[in-house]
């Protein structure tokens, strides 16, 4: 029996025989190994063990328990020494990694997706990133990979001069490398290019990056060996994820630094994470899962790092999260309209047919399905039917036009990223069917960089307009509700600073919306003289989406709080369902309280798309029960001496076919 023990970030394999010794003995042996192998690290004496825990799940172990009673063969444990608790320099985050870095209740997926390099969708990539499914290669991909590799090996045998295979890289492209040095050439490439800085990607994002690189290699244009590709797949399926810093790519020639860090871990160098053991030395983590570090052949180092997968992986997360918040921003805005006693007439299909942008029509239909209608009447809407208001502010009235273009932007970006996900972005490319190896520029990240700058500008507008609606909700001059949505203003401040938070995030977003891809710098001594800066495009797009989630969450809380002042009147069934969902996690404010956790709770509802799931059935009911559009009575009916009868007209075909 063998147990792997971690002491101050270092792993030690401890043979345990038949497991008849106790846990205290295991910790003592591991600590002795630590001081033997790292005598200069800390103090001269062996310290007392404070505690020992199982890595997976963080279970605290009793020193007197027998090893075989509480641990399995090849299990992982972590030892914390007494001084680690008292000395902040020793108490590194890694020592307490169990609850933070190893997900409790991790279950290895049983389902597989077959990758062929041509048909991966954004939705499937998100599932791969979350560790929900494993990877297999299609038979066609296996054949293409083998064919390309065979051709490349023939070139090596014939001593032909081909960039990246038998030459140096970048400025050194004219330096021919002796055949005996070709493997060292590739290893040096990975080590030298592993020069990123900053915080590491999360396990989910690293998993996404790894899956995307596998998919691109499966196209068979890179000349990678099937063995190396299978080793990447095996590591993915075990969630063995290298340390990949988030900063360092200029987006041409591809995302060299992050992909080099990915390859470095697969070579058994640097750090690596897995659900079984958290962060550890890459070689040890691989071996503990029965995997071997990869051994690079000719061109394989270049094949592993040349491409736009970092930009695209983060971009896919950004576009999927943007899509989720865009749908739910429509729901939140409809709730705000309701509590501000706005009119539904601005969402009349005739208006949107006259300007038939797909997103605009879609958003208007969503509003109609949520607001006052024959299907879902609203007491709040009925209460102000005969008011003297003619029209609402732009932030209410123009939601289909403003939210609509965001939907269209997201659709455009998703389509472009889907193409990029399934594209060969290596250089040189092995065109095995024609027996050619061609140097070209598919590695350039301009496509995803431009798309993600566009996404950032588009999705930011959801927060921009949401913040203005929050201001209307808390301003009694606009809302006719208590100032800052608190009943005892002065004693309580209500939503005063929550609005400031929204304003701060919107202001920060405006700076982040500056397009990264308009910049370029010459690199590699002028050889690579135009770059995309797409890595920053992707990272800031994600940051903007995160800010939008928070701003819309604040609007959601404010709109639900506004309902408290309109009771006992009820809104429509779908919006009451939204209110009930929120109140399940955030209670009403009767006086001031710590607000940050409530904002985070509302944001979590949006991130998990629970708001969308709760209203979607109502939207479907509306569509089924409203074969014709209902022209609901609105505040403008006060212009008539009596309420007009409800008119019905045939619904716009485009709107009826659009997905809610």
φ, ψ at 77 (rounded to 5°): -135, 165
CATH class of 315-525+535-657: mainly alpha
The tens digit of pLDDT for each residue in 425-470 reads 999 999 999 999 999 999 999 999 999 999 999 999 999 999 999 9
2-101 is a CATH 3.40.50.1950 domain = no
Q: Are 272 and 218 in contact (CB under 8 A)?
A: no
Which tokens sit at 217? 């290699």
CB 113 within 8 A of CB 124: yes
- Asked if residue 90 has pLDDT above 50, the reply is no
Asked if 307 and 595 touch (Cβ cutoff 8 Å), the reply is: no
Least confident of 169-183, 382-396, 566-580, 635-649: 635-649
List the strands of the sheet with 2-7, edge to edge.
10-15, 2-7, 75-81, 49-54
Closest CA to 384 of 635, 75, 99: 635
pLDDT given at position 91? 38
Q: What is the mean pLDDT of the chain?
A: 89
Spatial separation of the C-alpha atoms in residues 27 and 47, rounded to whole Å: 11
CA angle 465, 468, 470 (to 5 degrees): 115
State both tokens at 43.
Answer: 């103090």
Give pairs for 82-85: CB < 8 Å, separation 24+: 82/47, 82/48, 82/49, 82/50, 83/42, 83/43, 83/47, 84/8, 84/50, 85/50
pLDDT of residue 5: 87
CA-to-CA distance for 259 and 194, rounded, in angstroms? 8
Position 388 scores a pLDDT of 75
- Phi, psi (rounded to 5 degrees) for 176: -80, 135
Region 375-382: mean pLDDT is 92
pLDDT digits (tens, 9 = 90+) for 220-244: 999 999 999 999 999 999 999 999 9
Q: How confident is the model at residue 340 (pLDDT cuts 50, 70, 90)?
A: very high
pLDDT of residue 491 exceeding 50, the answer is yes
- Measured distance CA(421)–CA(210) in Å, rounded: 12
Please tell me the predicted confidence (pLDDT) of residue 38. Answer: 72
Cβ atoms within 10 Å of 76's Cβ, excluding its own: 24
Provide the pLDDT for residue 83: 67
Q: What does the block give as tokens for 544? A: 């903007």
CB 359 within 8 A of CB 407: yes
- Strands (DSSP E) along 305-362, which ranges? none
Do residues 460 and 509 lie in contact, with contact meaning Cβ atoms separated by under 8 Å?
yes
Tell me the β-bridge partners of 176.
Answer: 167
pLDDT in the model for residue 627:
63
From the candidates 34, 97, 163, 579, which is the catalytic residue?
Answer: 163
The verdict on whether 34 is a catalytic residue reads: no
Same fold, 112-307 and 315-525+535-657: no
Q: Are 326 and 403 in contact (CB under 8 A)?
A: yes
Checking if the pLDDT of 94 tops 50, the result is: no
Element (H, E) at 75: strand 75-81
pLDDT confidence tier of residue 398, bands split at 50, 70 and 90: very high
Give mean pLDDT, residues 578-596: 97
DSSP-assigned letter for residue 636:
G
Identify the residue with better confidence: 75 or 409.
Answer: 409
- Within 13 A of 440's CA, how many CA atoms are on the CB side? 12
Separation between Cα atoms, residue 66 and residue 18, nearest integer Å: 10
Q: Are 260 and 185 in contact (CB under 8 A)?
A: no
Q: What is the pLDDT of residue 639?
A: 41
In the predicted model, is pLDDT for residue 89 greater than 50? no
Does 645 score more than 70 pLDDT? no
- 644 falls in which pLDDT band (50, 70, 90)? very low
The confidence band for 523, taking pLDDT boundaries of 50, 70 and 90, is confident
Q: Which two tokens stand for residue 221?
A: 């244009």
Are the C-beta atoms of residues 274 and 239 closer than 8 Å to each other?
Answer: yes
- Residue 44 has what pLDDT? 52
φ/ψ (deg, to 5) at 31: -65, -40
Burial class (CB in 10 A: 0-12, 13-18, 19+), 594: exposed
| Average pLDDT value for residue range 513-528 | 88
Q: Tell me the pLDDT tens digit for each residue of 315-327.
A: 999 999 999 999 9
Are the C-beta atoms of residues 393 and 582 closer than 8 Å to each other?
Answer: no
392: nearest Cα among 467, 340, 342: 342
Q: Residue 188's pLDDT band (boundaries 50, 70, 90)?
A: very high
* pLDDT for 40: 57
In the prediction, which pLDDT does 11 show? 79
Least confident of 117-126, 358-367, 384-393, 560-569: 384-393
Query: Which CATH class for the 112-307 domain?
Result: mainly alpha
Please tell me what DSSP assigns to residue 80. E
Q: Give me the pLDDT at residue 102, please.
A: 44
Burial class (CB in 10 A: 0-12, 13-18, 19+), 435: exposed
Reported confidence tier of residue 503, pLDDT bands at 50, 70, 90: very high
Any idea which residue has 């950004």 for tokens? 318
**pLDDT class of 642 with cuts at 50, 70, 90:** very low
Using an 8 Å Cβ cutoff, are 362 and 411 in contact? no
Enter the tokens of residue 198: 């900053």
Average pLDDT over residues 299-312: 96
**Across the strands, what pairs with 112?**
134
Q: What is the pLDDT of residue 659?
A: 47
Domain range summary for the chain, segments of one domain joined by +: 2-101, 112-307, 315-525+535-657
Q: How far apart, in whole angstroms, are the C-alpha atoms of residue 212 and residue 422?
A: 9
- E strand map for 227-377: 241-242, 245-247, 271-274, 278-281
């Amino acid at each position: 029996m063998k147990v792997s023990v971690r002491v101050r970030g270092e792993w030690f394999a401890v043979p345990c025989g038949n497991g008849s010794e106790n846990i205290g003995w295991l910790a003592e042996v591991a600590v002795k190994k630590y001081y033997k192998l790292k005598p200069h690290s800390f103090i001269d004496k062996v310290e007392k063990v404070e505690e020992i825990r199982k890595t997976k799940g963080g279970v605290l172990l009793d020193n007197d328990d027998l090893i075989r009673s509480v641990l399995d063969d090849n299990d992982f444990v972590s030892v914390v020494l007494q001084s680690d608790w008292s000395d902040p320099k020793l108490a590194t985050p890694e020592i307490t990694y169990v609850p933070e870095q190893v997900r409790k209740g991790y279950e290895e997926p049983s389902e597989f997706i077959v990758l062929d390099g041509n048909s991966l969708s954004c939705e499937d990539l998100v599932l791969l990133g979350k560790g929900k499914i494993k990877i297999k290669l299609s038979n066609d991909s296996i054949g293409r990979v083998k064919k390309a590799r065979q051709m490349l090996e023939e070139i090596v045998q014939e001593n032909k001069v081909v960039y990246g295979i038998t030459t140096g890289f970048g400025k050194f492209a004219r330096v021919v490398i002796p055949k005996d040095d070709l493997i060292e050439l590739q290893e040096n490439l990975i080590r030298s290019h592993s020069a990123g800085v900053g915080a590491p990607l999360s396990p989910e994002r690293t998993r996404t990056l790894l899956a995307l690189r596998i998919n691109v290699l499966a196209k068979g244009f890179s000349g990678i060996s099937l063995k190396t590709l299978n080793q990447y797949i095996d590591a993915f399926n075990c969630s063995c994820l290298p340390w990949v810093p988030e900063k360092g790519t200029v987006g041409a020639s591809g995302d060299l630094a992050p992909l080099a860090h990915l390859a470095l871990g697969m070579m058994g160098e640097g750090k690596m994470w897995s659900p079984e053991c958290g962060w550890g030395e890459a070689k040890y983590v691989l071996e503990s899962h029965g995997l071997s570090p990869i051994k690079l052949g000719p061109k394989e180092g270049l094949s592993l790092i040349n491409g736009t997968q970092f930009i695209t992986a983060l971009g896919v997360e950004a576009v999927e999260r943007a899509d989720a918040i865009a749908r739910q921003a429509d729901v939140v805005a409809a709730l705000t309209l309701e509590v501000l006693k706005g009119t539904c007439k601005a969402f009349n299909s005739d208006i949107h047919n006259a300007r038939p942008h797909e997103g605009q029509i879609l958003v208007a239909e969503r509003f109609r399905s949520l607001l006052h209608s024959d299907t879902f009447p609203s007491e709040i809407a009925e209460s102000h039917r005969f008011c003297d208001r003619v029209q609402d502010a732009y932030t209410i009235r123009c939601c289909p036009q403003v939210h609509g273009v965001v939907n269209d932007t997201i659709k455009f970006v998703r389509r472009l990223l889907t193409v990029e996900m399934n594209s060969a972005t290596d250089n040189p490319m092995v065109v095995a069917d024609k027996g050619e190896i061609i140097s070209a520029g598919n590695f350039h990240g301009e496509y995803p960089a431009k798309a993600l700058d566009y996404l950032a500008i588009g999705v930011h507008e959801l927060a921009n307009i949401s913040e203005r609606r929050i201001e209307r909700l808390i301003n009694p001059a606009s809302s006719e509700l208590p100032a800052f949505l608190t009943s005892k203003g002065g004693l309580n401040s209500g939503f005063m600073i929550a609005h400031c938070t929204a304003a701060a995030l919107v202001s920060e977003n405006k700076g982040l919306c500056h397009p990264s891809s308009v910049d370029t710098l010459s690199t590699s001594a002028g050889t690579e003289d135009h770059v995309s800066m797409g890595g920053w495009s992707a990272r800031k797009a994600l940051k903007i989406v995160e800010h939008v989630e928070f701003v819309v969450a604040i609007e959601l809380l404010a709109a639900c709080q506004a309902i408290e002042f309109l009771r006992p009147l009820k809104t429509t069934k779908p919006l009451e369902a939204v209110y009930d969902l929120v109140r399940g996690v955030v209670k009403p404010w009767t006086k001031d309280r710590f607000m940050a956790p409530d904002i985070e709770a509302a944001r979590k509802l949006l991130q998990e798309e629970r708001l969308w799931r709760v209203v979607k059935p109502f939207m479907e009911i509306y569509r089924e029960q409203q074969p014709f559009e209902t022209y609901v009575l609105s505040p403008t009916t006060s212009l008539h001496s009596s309420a007009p009868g409800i008119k019905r007209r045939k619904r716009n075909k485009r709107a009826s076919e659009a997905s809610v």
